[in-house]
């Protein structure tokens, strides 16, 4: 590319012809990658430092041709990629770069808008609000909610809890900070995602500001325990201010009894936040709509299209019934950002000033697959989860460790005569062997201290034969660990 | 696309052929868009609500073909886009979707890795660290700094100040929160970006926790005023803990005297954060390296490749000499995220757990243009800024309002016999007329209360003729406002 782009007026970008040629080459590369990803090891086999050592220590002085960039994508980057696109990626929660989502990111990168203010790209702001309204309707939340896209659930929850903190009467944390304030406390279950605690640290509440509530046998928050904790805390001088309920916990995808929690929140004047990052997507299925029961009372709720709606990372949807509180928590308009329109300026509703065009990819995913198309895909994932659970249940060498509300199965291998500590070690060994094979990738968790394997179905490319392969590998490796 | 993707095994993604065809079509669309963006109005002309009304109220039930998506990108989205890619975009700070940067985003979206842990995509973690090390060297920062990519400077500054808060001796904010703590205070100039105040609100310090220090005639923080403020605050019970200096302020791109501020910070044991979001990029030019003087002492520093290094939004680089403090401020490892490698897990160093593959686009921009190529481009932008300033200086109808250290010019139109309030109003009218024309887009600020116009050169596609056009439009409209 080098000097051809150094025009008399000064060096510029690639010419349209150069962009077209490179773009087509990359589109072909991506098509081939997606077609063949199944043949690559799911979990990268490099060692720490391998990739770093394969790269030069400094940026090149002169420009390089696109062919060199693409070559290194293949030769240097790819061996160090753990393939979240692989149909046998069963770890954590599956995510997918679907074709329309990938192309949506290409369009967003090309337009490169920064929607800090409405006027700095009206389409970016308004499409975001419309698409979030589509999604709201799809998952059965009430009309009139305010929606905003953030990058991750961690940031959505941080913003939601910042609004909850701002809503505490008589505090004025925005101006005065927390130094002179009483000790605020928020409640979440022992199964809640770590982002709730991280938000508490960031917001200046500290880990002490989070009280974890016990769960029932299916890992759902116990409303009575919450009510008791709030009572106790008030008596000992804490200021309870928020509850973070979970619809689809990270370990077992359990669904907290949001309806009952909402009643407690109403009675105690607590802000109810719901983390539905994973399972919110399931609510597009009529037969799974039950999981959102009570969420109509939530003061804020997060669900992540980049998790189980085939939208490339990052895209997290934050909804709230109180946009004015969220705005009070965050808006700051310096002179250089004053604007005159009567319109929503999304920079006022969160931590970030810069906001890229995340709505396009979600818009394209929803339109390309359609609501019915998405339902079919999610329904199939839930079927595959249940199918795998039935194999576990039917095999004496394995034990299911939690209910399977959606598409995630918690289980362990068993061997007669071993105690829990020995079983933990054996299962750890088993997981290591399974993942080292490179054909499937599972992750683990602990439930009430016990080491548990987790198989999560969530990638668009996963079919029954892939789940079957995971089962075959597990059975074979179980025999070798013993 | 519809039913062709509904295989017997269940509905899947588009076929490779479908992806290829759609991808090529979109690449062509982008090439045409970038080629012709100059002919579109820079500032969108739609009214609030126009885009929303042009969109359906619900997601479609059935999938739609890619042609429909692309049609609406043209017909619905594009009229509502304010074109940050336009060579006559002179508002705020210019940003650019360069060809290699756009394609880097396409590659990242396709790989769709989530580098929360090293093992969940080693390449994503290690390439990020290598490319940030390249950039560190390019802007003259010392070896051994820890670098991490975040989405925006707002988040980088939030994380940096969270680390500064964590570093306060005897506080243990991570565990205990701020409730029982003394009143923490951080210092920044009256010209600092609003993200510093937003971080203070988020972190629970409140606006009261930020003391703004006066600036000199060139809008640079006054070290003596800082020293005096710290002294005063200690005497009245505040706990000074951090200074946020700016290299390239938002209004006038002024450079705080970081060397002197660093001395005060050392003496007073304050964390020194430097916001070099815009001007850090200029330091790749030997003749502008002066702007980083003193930054080798910074405890943390942010610079944004998505601002003036032709990398699509979002990409902000955060550097720190104290990764262990940043990690202490943020790390939380729940059972489901335990991993055994001796490697850096980037989720431990910031608010966000999910981390997309932002490094590819920056890697490709640095390699495609090369350091020398980037220098030529930035040098040209600075030349254009000085050129425009010289036109302002040579015209009796205009007045320059601040020095021009880089590529941003602050100025106003003048008319004989008007007082400051009248001049403010006239300049406001002038800016509205200029921007309504759609050929150029400038923004404004206030300097010591005075309304000031701002012309910022920063887009890769901007040539001398575009700056000349802005000047012609300004002169013509000045005549019409009078």
Q: What is the pLDDT along chain B (482 residues), one digit of tens a residue?
A: 444 445 444 568 899 999 999 999 999 999 999 999 999 999 999 999 999 999 999 999 999 999 999 999 999 999 999 999 999 999 999 999 999 999 999 999 999 999 999 999 999 999 999 999 999 999 999 999 999 999 999 999 999 999 999 999 999 899 999 998 899 999 999 999 999 999 999 999 999 999 999 999 999 999 999 999 999 999 999 999 999 999 999 999 999 999 999 999 999 999 999 999 999 999 999 999 999 999 999 999 999 999 999 999 999 999 999 999 999 999 998 888 888 888 999 999 999 999 999 999 999 999 999 999 999 999 999 999 999 999 999 999 999 999 999 999 999 999 999 999 999 999 999 999 999 999 999 999 999 999 999 999 999 999 999 999 999 999 999 999 97
Q: How confident is the model at residue A445 (pLDDT cuts 50, 70, 90)?
A: very high
Choose the closest CB to B24 out of A24, A66, A109.
Answer: A24
Residues in chain A: 482
- How near does any CA of chain A get to the CA of B207, in Å? 5
Which one of B177, B196, B209, B445 would you mutate to disrupt binding with A, by most A Cβ within 10 Å of its Cβ?
B177
Q: Which two tokens stand for residue A366?
A: 């929803």
The rounded distance, in Å, linking the Cα atoms of B316 and B306 is 7
Contacts of B51 in chain A (CB under 8 A): 122-123, 126-127, 130
Contacts of B315 in chain A (CB under 8 A): none
* B52 → chain A, closest CA residue: A126
Which one of A53, A97, A126, A429 would you mutate to disrupt binding with B, by most B Cβ within 10 Å of its Cβ?
A126
Walk across the sheet containing A443-447 and list its strands: A398-400, A408-413, A450-456, A443-447
**CA max distance for chain A:** 81
The rounded distance, in Å, linking the Cα atoms of B148 and B359 is 10
A340: Cβ contacts below 8 Å, ≥ 6 apart: none
- The reply to whether residue A102 touches residue B110, judged by beta carbons under 8 angstroms, is yes
Decide if B240 contacts B230 (C-beta within 8 A). Answer: yes
Report the phi/psi class of residue B112: left, alpha or beta, with left for phi > 0 and alpha for psi in -120 to 50.
left
The rounded distance, in Å, linking the Cα atoms of B413 and B424 is 9
SS3 B444: strand
- The reply to whether residue A352 touches residue B31, judged by beta carbons under 8 angstroms, is no
Task: Give the angle A336-B273-B250 at the CA atoms, nearest 5°.
Answer: 15
Contacts of B209 in chain A (CB under 8 A): 177, 179
- The reply to whether residue B312 touches residue A112, judged by beta carbons under 8 angstroms, is yes
- How near does any CA of chain B get to the CA of A276, in Å? 16
Decide if B108 contacts B358 (C-beta within 8 A). Answer: yes
- The reply to whether residue A202 touches residue B338, judged by beta carbons under 8 angstroms, is no
Please confirm whether the linkage preceding A471 is cis (ω < 30° from 0). Answer: no
CATH architecture of A113-356: 3-Layer(aba) Sandwich (3.40)
Q: Which two tokens stand for residue B269?
A: 């044991």
A476: Cβ contacts below 8 Å, ≥ 6 apart: none
Residue range A401-419: mean pLDDT, rounded: 97
Q: Comparing A14-43+82-110+362-482 with A113-356, is the CATH topology the same?
A: no
- The reply to whether residue A30 touches residue B353, judged by beta carbons under 8 angstroms, is no
Q: Which two tokens stand for residue B402?
A: 């601040």
Which one of B102, B363, B378, B382 would you mutate to disrupt binding with A, by most A Cβ within 10 Å of its Cβ?
B102
The rounded distance, in Å, linking the Cα atoms of B244 and B259 is 13
- The reply to whether residue A10 touches residue B376, judged by beta carbons under 8 angstroms, is yes
> Which fold, A14-43+82-110+362-482?
3.90.1150
Radius of gyration of chain A (CA): 24
SS3 A384: helix
Report the phi/psi class of residue A345: left, alpha or beta, with left for phi > 0 and alpha for psi in -120 to 50.
beta
Which one of B71, B112, B127 would you mutate to disrupt binding with A, by most A Cβ within 10 Å of its Cβ?
B112
Cα–Cα distances in Å, from B272 out to B227, B298, B350?
A: 14, 5, 18
- The reply to whether residue A446 touches residue B335, judged by beta carbons under 8 angstroms, is yes
Task: Give the least confident one: A316-325, A350-359, B1-10.
Answer: B1-10
Contacts of A11 in chain B (CB under 8 A): 369, 373, 376-377, 380
* Cα A4–chain centre separation: 43
- The reply to whether residue A194 touches residue B106, judged by beta carbons under 8 angstroms, is no
Choose the closest CB to B106 out of A109, A195, A334.
Answer: A109
Choose the closest CB to B208 out of A57, A85, A175.
Answer: A175
Contacts of A314 in chain B (CB under 8 A): 354, 356
- The reply to whether residue A61 touches residue B137, judged by beta carbons under 8 angstroms, is no
Please confirm whether the linkage preceding B314 is cis (ω < 30° from 0). Answer: yes
- The reply to whether residue A204 touches residue B59, judged by beta carbons under 8 angstroms, is no
Decide if A31 contacts A85 (C-beta within 8 A). Answer: no
DSSP B73-133: IIIIIGGG---TTSTTB-SSS-----HHHHHHHHHHHHH---TTSSTT-HHHHHHHHHHHH
- A82-135 pLDDT per residue, tens: 999 999 999 999 999 999 999 999 999 999 999 999 999 999 999 999 999 999
The rounded distance, in Å, linking the Cα atoms of B1 and B16 is 12
- The reply to whether residue B13 touches residue A34, judged by beta carbons under 8 angstroms, is yes
- How near does any CA of chain A get to the CA of B67, in Å? 10
A191: Cβ contacts below 8 Å, ≥ 6 apart: A215, A219, A221, A246, A249, A250, A251, A252, A254
Going by the DSSP 8-state scheme, the letter that residue A46 receives in this structure is: P
Residue B16 burial class via C-beta count within 10 angstroms: exposed 0-12, middle 13-18, buried 19 and up = middle
DSSP A421-441: HHHHHHHHHHHHHHHHTSS-B
- How near does any CA of chain B get to the CA of A267, in Å? 25
Decide if A482 contacts A416 (C-beta within 8 A). Answer: no
- How are beta strands B316-320 and B271-275 bridged, if at all? unpaired
Choose the closest CB to B122 out of A46, A64, A111.
Answer: A46
- How near does any CA of chain B get to the CA of A473, in Å? 21
- Asked if residue A335 has pLDDT above 90, the reply is no
* B14 → chain A, closest CA residue: A99
User: Please, what is the average pLDDT of chain A?
Assistant: 96
SS3 B304: coil
Radius of gyration of chain B (CA): 24
SS3 A297: helix
* Cα B180–chain centre separation: 35
Give the model's pLDDT for residue B11. Answer: 66
Q: Which two tokens stand for residue B113?
A: 């890795």
Decide if A19 contacts B29 (C-beta within 8 A). Answer: no
- How are beta strands A300-303 and A316-320 bridged, if at all? antiparallel
Choose the closest CB to B19 out of A22, A31, A464.
Answer: A31
The rounded distance, in Å, linking the Cα atoms of A130 and A118 is 14
- The reply to whether residue B122 touches residue A20, judged by beta carbons under 8 angstroms, is no
Cα–Cα distances in Å, from A437 out to A215, A244, A432, B266?
A: 36, 39, 9, 53
Helices marked H in B323-409: 323-330, 359-393
Residue A75 burial class via C-beta count within 10 angstroms: exposed 0-12, middle 13-18, buried 19 and up = exposed
Q: Which two tokens stand for residue B358?
A: 């932002």
Q: Would you say the C-alpha torsion B417, B419, B425, B427 has a positive or negative sign?
A: positive
A13: Cβ contacts below 8 Å, ≥ 6 apart: A5, A19, B34, B96, B98, B99, B310, B460, B461
- How near does any CA of chain B get to the CA of A329, in Å? 8
Choose the closest CB to B84 out of A112, A370, A444.
Answer: A112
Contacts of A336 in chain B (CB under 8 A): 92, 250-251, 443-446, 454
Q: Would you say the C-alpha torsion B87, B90, B91, B97 has a positive or negative sign?
A: positive
The rounded distance, in Å, linking the Cα atoms of A400 and B349 is 35
- How are beta strands A300-303 and A271-275 bridged, if at all? parallel
Q: Which two tokens stand for residue A206?
A: 């500290």
SS3 B9: coil
Q: Chains A and B: how many Cβ contacts under 8 Å?
A: 577
Query: What is the residue extent of each domain of chain B?
Result: 14-43+82-97+370-482, 113-356
Residue range A247-273: mean pLDDT, rounded: 98
Residue range A159-171: mean pLDDT, rounded: 96
The rounded distance, in Å, linking the Cα atoms of A380 and A463 is 8
Cα–Cα distances in Å, from A99 out to A12, A63, A185, B16, B70?
A: 31, 31, 44, 9, 14
Choose the closest CB to A10 out of B121, B306, B377.
Answer: B377
Decide if B426 contacts B345 (C-beta within 8 A). Answer: no
Choose the closest CB to B154 out of A12, A98, A352.
Answer: A352
Decide if B395 contacts B450 (C-beta within 8 A). Answer: no
Decide if B446 contacts B452 (C-beta within 8 A). Answer: yes
Residue range A390-399: mean pLDDT, rounded: 98
What class does CATH assign to B14-43+82-97+370-482? Answer: alpha beta
Decide if B393 contacts B439 (C-beta within 8 A). Answer: no
Which one of A10, A193, A331 would you mutate to disrupt binding with B, by most B Cβ within 10 Å of its Cβ?
A10
- The reply to whether residue A13 touches residue B137, judged by beta carbons under 8 angstroms, is no
């Amino acid at each position: 590319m080098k000097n051809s782009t150094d025009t008399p007026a000064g060096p510029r970008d690639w010419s349209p012809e150069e962009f077209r040629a490179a773009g087509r080459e990359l589109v072909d590369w991506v098509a081939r990658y997606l077609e063949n990803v199944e043949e690559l090891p799911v979990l990268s086999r490099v060692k720490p430092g391998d990739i770093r050592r394969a790269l030069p220590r400094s940026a090149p002085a002169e420009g390089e041709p696109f062919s060199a960039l693409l070559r290194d994508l293949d030769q240097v980057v790819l061996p160090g990629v753990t393939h979240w696109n692989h149909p046998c990626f069963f770890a954590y929660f599956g995510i997918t770069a679907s074709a329309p989502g990938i192309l949506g990111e290409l369009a967003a990168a090309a337009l490169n808008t920064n929607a800090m203010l409405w006027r700095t790209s009206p389409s970016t702001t308004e499409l975001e609000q419309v698409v979030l309204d589509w999604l709201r309707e799809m998952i059965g939340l009430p009309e009139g909610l305010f929606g905003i896209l953030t990058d991750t659930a961690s940031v959505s929850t941080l913003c939601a809890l910042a609004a909850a903190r701002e809503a505490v009467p008589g505090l004025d944390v925005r101006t005065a900070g927390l130094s002179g304030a009483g000790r605020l406390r928020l409640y979440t279950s022992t199964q809640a995602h770590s982002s709730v605690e991280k938000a508490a640290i960031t917001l200046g509440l500290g880990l002490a500001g989070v009280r974890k509530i016990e769960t029932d046998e299916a890992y759902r928050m116990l409303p009575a325990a919450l009510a008791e904790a709030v009572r106790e805390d008030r008596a000992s001088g804490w200021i309870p201010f928020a509850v973070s309920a979970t619809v689809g916990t990270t370990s077992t995808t359990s669904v907290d009894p949001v309806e009952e929690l909402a009643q407690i929140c109403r009675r105690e004047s607590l802000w109810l936040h719901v983390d539905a990052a994973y399972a919110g997507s399931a609510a597009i299925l009529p037969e799974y709509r039950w999981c959102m029961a009570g969420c109509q009372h939530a003061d804020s709720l997060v669900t992540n299209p980049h998790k189980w709606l085939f939208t490339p990372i990052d895209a997290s949807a934050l909804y709230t019934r109180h946009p004015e509180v969220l705005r009070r928590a965050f808006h700051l308009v310096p002179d250089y950002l004053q604007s005159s329109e009567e319109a929503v300026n999304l920079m006022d509703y969160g931590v970030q000033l810069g906001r890229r065009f995340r709505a396009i990819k979600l818009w394209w995913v929803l339109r390309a697959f359609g609501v019915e198309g998405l339902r079919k895909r999610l329904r199939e994932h839930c079927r595959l989860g249940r199918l795998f659970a039935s194999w576990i249940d039917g095999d004496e060498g394995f034990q299911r460790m939690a209910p399977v509300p959606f598409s995630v199965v918690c289980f362990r291998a068993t061997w007669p005569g071993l105690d829990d500590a020995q079983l933990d070690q054996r299962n750890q060994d088993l997981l290591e062997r399974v993942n080292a094979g490179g054909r499937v990738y599972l992750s683990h968790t602990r439930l009430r201290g016990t080491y548990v394997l987790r198989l999560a179905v969530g990638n668009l490319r996963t079919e029954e034969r892939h789940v079957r392969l995971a089962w075959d590998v597990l059975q074979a490796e179980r025999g070798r660990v013993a």
